[in-house]
Structure formats: C-alpha cells, structure tokens
Amino acid sequence: MALLIQNGEIVTASGRQFADILCEGETIQAIGKTLPVPVGTEVLDATGCLVFPGFIDPHVHVHLPFMGTSAKDTHATASKAAVLGGTTTYIEMCCPSREEDPATAFHLWKKKAAEGSVCDYSFHLGVTRLQDGDADALRRLVHEEGVASFKVFLAYKGAFGINDEELYQTLKLARELGVIVTAHCENADLIAERQAELIKQGKLGPEWHEPSRPIEVEVEGCHHLMTFAKLTGAHVYVVHTSCGEALNVITDARAHGVQAWVETVIPYLTLDSSFAEKPNFEGAKYVMSPPIRDRHQQEALWQGLRSGTISTVATDHAPFDFATQKHMGHPDPAQCLKADFQPNGEAGNFSLIPNGIPSIEERIKLLYTDGVLLGKISLETFIAVASTNAAKLFGLYPKKGEIAVGSDADIVVFDPKPTSTISAKTHHMATDYSAFEGRRVSGQIRDVAVRGRFVVRSGALVVGEGGGRYLARPCTH
Ligand code: URP
Ligand code: ZN
Ligand code: ZN
C-alpha cells in the first residue's frame, strides 16, 4: 500500500523543507508540497513534527561472546530497541574468536540476525586472525556476500586482537579489494602491563579501568594504525574515539594523505570518567573500552562533529547485565561471580568486568537533547553524523541515510515537544540497567518505517520479530 506523510518538516544532512513524502512499496516515489493523494493511500499527518531519514548505527554488538560471557541482547530485542530509538539500520561487528574460520563465523552471525531483526542490518567482518586460507575466505565473502568493511582490534590480546603482521596483511588485502577497515585502536601490551601493575597495587575497582588504558594508550593505537594505513594505502575508520588527543593524531595523518575517518559513540558525549567512580560497584556499569574520559573531552568531540573531523556518532552497543555479568569483576570475593574461576576464591578486579555499555535505544534522543538542543550541533549535522555519513562510508547511500526519490522508505517522524525520562524499567534492551538512568530527554520517536513498513506507531512497537533485511554492500573504497 502507498503511504503519504503530510505536513512535516523534512530534515536531511543537506537542508530542511516543508514537504510531503509519497512512498510506494519499499521506496520513496515523490517529494513535494501538497502532493495529490492516490486512491488507497494511507495518510500520516506529521504536523508539528520533524521528518528524518532512518538513522544508521554503524557500530553495534548483538551476538558477542566476550570476556567469558555473552552479550545479553538477541537481534529481536536489540532491533526492537533500535527502531523505538529511531534506528532503522545497524551494522553489527561480526567478532569471531581466533579458533573460528571467517566464513563459518560470518554465516553464524548472519543467521542470528535473520532470525530476529525487525530493522535492516549488515556486518563489519572481524578479521581476528589471518592464517593460511583466511585471505581467500575473506575475498569470497567480499565478492559473494557483499561484505564491504572489515574490523580489526589492536586491543584484546589473546581474544580478538591481531598481531602486526596480520594487521599489515589485512590492510593490504583491504586495499586490493576496496574494503574499508574499521579499527579498535588501543595498544594491547601497554594495557596488559598497566592492568598487572594496578592489580598488584590492590587497585581493583572499576575506577581503575580508565588509568589502565589512559589517553596515551589510545593515542598510540591510533598512531599505529595510521602508520600501517599510510604504508598500505588502506582506507581506515577508527571506531569509538574517546578524546581530542586521539582525534588530533588521525586529523594529522589525514593531512599527510592517510585515508582515515573517525567515529565517536554516544557514551563519550554524554558521560564522563566520574561515573566509573560511583560507589557500591555501580561504576562497573560504565566500564567500556577505550574508557570514558574526563568531562572536558566532550567539547573536543562536539567540536570534531561540528568541523566534520568526526564523521559518525554510533553506540558501540554492548549489552551486559550489571547483576550477573558486570559482577564478574567485583573486588569483593563474596560478590565476585568470577570467584569460581579464581584460585582460592580470590577477589575479582576491573580487568574482569565485561567491557561495554547498552545504548542502541537512546542514541538519537541523547544526541538530539545534548547536541541539537544545547546548540552543540545543527539539525543537519545531527542527521549527517547519525545517518547519512555512515551510509556514504559503508556503501549504503543513497538507498539509506537520505530522503530522496528512489531511496528506501526508512523514515522517522519525530515530535520535538514531549519529554521523557530514561530508565531500565521502561527500556527494551535486554539489560538490567541503563547507563542513562533518570536522564530527561526531549522529543518522541513517534512513527518509524523500515522500507515503507511501519515498525513503530505513536511511540509503540507494532511488529513482531523479523522482517529486517541483510544489506549486501558494494566496495566503495
Ligand atoms: O567496551 C567496549 N567497547 N565493548 C565492546 C567491544 C568493543 O571494543 O567494541
Ligand atoms: Zn572496540
Ligand atoms: Zn565495539
């Protein structure tokens, strides 16, 4: 059935206009003032509302076996939370262990998403090893499955982390294939040394996570990647950039010809390192890597978004429960869920807390409230960094990230007037806590369509499970 969205103000990365949008099937057919209403068309009145292209989250984790546990969401829960928060497409990090071969892992991740996702999805393929035959398997996935981006970890030694030889060969392969390489940039050896030092000194609580991976550790990781990118010519995208110093390294490399782009994530823009100091182990809720920095870093990140040196605001959604998972790193042996793994029921420590924060549902409202309403970014920049730029970087544009004739009818009708309070009691993510508990946010994600199909009406979910589509992507780098 055709759908006509009337009387709203359309906002895209390039401008604003009052116009109607006519969608036929999955696609936008026409945009114009007071469009005629074809017979049988459903009409949605968007008076007083802003009409946005569906938002894209280019960095999420859903299926994530990590740090001795597994992230809590399924694609059914994560994607429902995503669309309620205005996100109509996400790109998940497919993160195999070093024991899994790339093709088996890719098909496992894809199957899990196909089973439940109500929104569209794609994958950055984690290259967590590069042994005999792996390069050919990667080539095949790029050509046959439309994998247009890889993911490498310079951190997480012994888990997802790769060595320098593998990094060099992966970047060379990516350059050959036109694939962009997304990268977690922290020096793994420095982290291991500093963790051991702090733990030896009895510094065990979540507040010691940041000092174990200070800014210099991230800066070194970024510099490392820039060196390898320069020598191979690979196009790289630094995920979850937390501070101005790391941003400067990448901006500097760009000035010297390195093809590099930068992502930051919503926790860095809205939280600060003091949250990890909360008493009663509450600080564990805020343990992610790189760590959340001092509050003054937020301004450097907002400035990066304004100037365009930061292209995207993702979530790095990585949902672990507080009670049953974050407690794996509790320093009190009586409360440490990892005690059974430790000789003599030893105390836990911050290095055992599963890294990650759930935020897929809250990204857009937080970015609008703290970014647009506080005058940090314009509405157009808001759309660019939360939707359009990711589409352009990852081979989804102009189907996604745009309101234009021929684009997918992924549309968010946003009412700027209502306010609400974020709480784990009302969120749809599978975790038992919200890192943004009690925060007032402005605006309601009123109606959301994914390829012309409503998934949210009047702020409520109107679909069951599934219906999302895998997005094969061309290599554009
Ligand atoms: O702490 C984080 N960021 N957890 C998720 C895994 C990753 O590094 O992206
Ligand atoms: Zn990471
Ligand atoms: Zn991540």
Find the 360 Cα to ligand 1 centroid distance in Å.
Answer: 14
The residue contributing the CA closest to ligand 1 atom 5 is 356
CATH number at 291 reads 3.20.20.140
Q: Which atom of ligand 1 is nearest to the CA of 184?
A: 8
Atom of ligand 1 nearest to the CA of 287: 1
Non-local (6+) Cβ contacts of 177 within 8 A are 138, 139, 142, 475
Give the closest ligand to the alpha carbon of residue 267: 1
In a domain, 20, yes or no: no
Task: Note the ligand closest to the C-alpha atom of 159.
Answer: 1
> What's the chain's length in residues?
477
How far away, in angstroms, is 418 Cα from ligand 3 center? 31
Expressed in angstroms and rounded, the spacing between residue 43 Cα and the centre of ligand 2 is 43
pLDDT at res. 57? 99
Q: How open is the CA angle 453-455-457, to the nearest 5 degrees?
A: 110
Asked if residue 291 is part of any domain, the answer here is yes
Residue 412 lies in a domain: no
Pocket of ligand 1 (CB under 6 A): 61, 184, 240, 288-289, 316, 318, 355-356
Q: Report which bound ligand comes closest to the CA of 356.
A: 1
Q: Given the structure tokens 């035959």, which residue do they identify? A: 133
The one-letter code for the residue type at 190 is: L
Per-residue pLDDT at 249: 98
Give a yes or no: residue 421 inside a domain. Answer: no
Query: Could you give the CA distance from residue 251 to residue 255 in angstroms, rounded to a whole number?
Result: 6
3-state per-residue secondary structure call for 182-249: EEECCCHHHHHHHHHHHHHCCCCCHHHHHHHCCHHHHHHHHHHHHHHHHHHCCCEEECCCCCHHHHHH
Question: Among 240, 266, 293, 325, which is best to mutate for testing ligand 1, by the most ligand atoms less than 8 A from CB?
Answer: 240
**Which atom number of ligand 1 is nearest to the Cα of residue 289?**
1
User: Phi/psi at 54 (nearest 5 deg)?
Assistant: -55, 140
Ligand 2 centroid – CA 153 distance (Å): 7
Helix (H, G, I), strand (E, B) or coil at 347: coil
Residue nearest to atom 3 of ligand 1 (CA): 289
Ligand 1 atom having least distance to the Cα of 156? 8
Contacts of 450 (CB under 8 A, 6+ apart): 54, 83, 88, 118, 119, 120, 410, 467, 468
Best mutation site among 95, 154, 289, 315 for ligand 1 pocket (most ligand atoms within 8 Å of CB) = 289
Q: Which H or E element spans position 392? A: helix 389-393
pLDDT per residue over 267-296, tens digit each? 999 999 999 999 999 999 999 999 999 999
In a domain, 418, yes or no: no
For residue 181, the model assigns a pLDDT of: 98
Task: With beta carbons less than 8 A apart as the criterion, state whether 444 and 458 touch.
Answer: no
Within 8 A by CB and 6+ apart from 158, the residues are: none
Q: Tell me the Cα Rg of the chain.
A: 22
Q: In the chain, how many domains are there? A: 1
Domain hosting residue 264, numbered range: 54-372
Q: Residue 458: what pLDDT? A: 98
Judged on CB neighbours under 10 Å (0-12, 13-18, 19+), 132 is exposed
The residue whose CA is least distant from atom 4 of ligand 1 is: 356
The answer to whether residue 29 is domain-embedded is: no
For residue 448, what is the enclosing H or E element? Answer: strand 440-450
Pairing label, strands 42-45, 3-6: parallel
Q: Report the atom number in ligand 1 closest to the C-alpha of 59.
A: 9
Structure tokens at 380: 């157009």
- Alpha-carbon distance of 284 to 209, in angstroms, equals 9
From the CA of 124, which ligand is nearest?
Answer: 3
Residue 290: asked if its preceding bond is cis (omega within 30°), the reply is yes
374-408 pLDDT tens trace: 999 999 999 999 999 999 999 999 999 999 999 99
DSSP E strand boundaries for 346-437:
411-421
Position 400 in a domain: no
Residues with C-beta atoms within 5 A of ion ligand 2:
184
CA of 289 to the centre of ligand 1 (A): 5
Residues 6 or more apart whose CB falls under 8 angstroms from that of 463 comprise 118, 453, 454, 455
In a 10 Å sphere around its CB, with 0-12 CB exposed, 13-18 middle and 19+ buried, how is residue 474 labelled? exposed
**Residue 153 is assigned to a structural domain of this protein:** yes
pLDDT tens digit at each of 477 positions of the chain: 899 999 999 999 999 999 999 999 999 999 999 999 999 999 999 999 999 999 999 999 999 999 999 999 999 999 999 999 999 999 999 999 999 999 999 999 999 999 999 999 999 999 999 998 999 999 999 999 999 999 999 999 889 999 999 999 999 999 999 999 999 999 999 999 999 999 999 999 999 999 999 999 999 999 999 999 999 999 999 999 999 999 999 999 999 999 999 999 999 999 999 999 999 999 999 999 999 999 999 999 999 999 999 999 999 999 999 999 999 999 988 888 764 555 555 678 999 999 999 999 999 999 999 999 999 999 999 999 999 999 999 999 999 999 999 999 999 999 999 999 999 999 999 999 999 999 999 999 999 999 999 999 999 999 999 999 999 999 999
Tokens matching residue 101: 């071969």
| DSSP code of residue 86 | T
